[in-house]
């Protein structure tokens, strides 16, 4: 790992700790009563809408255009933007699902977990090595992402 992309990787590591809670929520859900499920789902929704989705949107504004430039076409990152769309769709479906529909809730939670883990892995294994070739550009992007107030 290059020092130039360490902040991106550390951000993912931090986010993945919370993403692990999404998987854990899917495991715990059947054991909870309806009120417990509502609380658990509210915590997941807070993470999704206050942390994960803003992170994804900042990537679309800052990281992906730079990677698209490195790849030689602005649409080269379209599949990653599509991942973000699917994650948002899962989050919306999760919000619309009744707390009593445990099977559907588990399906959505496990799906979100798998989507996000796979998405981060693609960024770290495919995009960040491109940025490591240009440490100065990577540092500028890190400053821009920090300016986006992504946590």
Domains within the chain, CATH numbers bracketed: 3-145 (1.20.120.520)
pLDDT band, very low/low/confident/very high, at 29 (cuts 50, 70, 90): very high
Q: How confident is the model at residue 109 (pLDDT cuts 50, 70, 90)?
A: very high
Residue 84 pLDDT class (50, 70, 90 cuts): very high
Q: Give the predicted TM-score (pTM) of the model.
A: 0.91
Helix (H) or strand (E) holding 48: none
Q: Identify the CA nearest to 67 among candidates 125, 127, 121, 132.
A: 127
Tell me the longest C-alpha to C-alpha distance in the chain: 52
Gyration radius from the chain CA atoms: 17
Token pair for 3:
């020092």
With cut-offs at 50, 70 and 90, classify the pLDDT of residue 1. low
pLDDT value at 89 more than 90: yes
Name the region of 13 (left: φ>0; alpha: ψ -120 to 50; beta: rest): alpha
Q: What pLDDT does residue 149 have?
A: 53
């Amino acid at each position: 790992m290059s020092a130039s992309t360490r902040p991106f990787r550390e951000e993912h590591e931090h986010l993945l700790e919370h993403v692990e809670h999404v998987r854990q929520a899917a495991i715990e859900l059947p054991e909870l009563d309806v009120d417990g499920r509502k609380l658990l789902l509210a915590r997941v929704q807070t993470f999704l809408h206050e942390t994960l989705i803003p992170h994804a949107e900042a990537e679309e504004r800052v990281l992906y255009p730079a990677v698209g430039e490195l790849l030689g076409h602005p649409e080269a990152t379209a599949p990653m933007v599509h991942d973000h769309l699917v994650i948002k769709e899962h989050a919306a479906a999760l919000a619309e699902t009744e707390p009593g529909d445990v099977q559907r809730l588990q399906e959505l939670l496990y799906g979100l977990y798998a989507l996000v883990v796979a998405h981060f892995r693609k960024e770290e294994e495919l995009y960040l090595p491109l940025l490591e070739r240009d440490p100065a550009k990577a540092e500028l992007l890190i400053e821009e992402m920090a300016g986006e107030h992504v946590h």
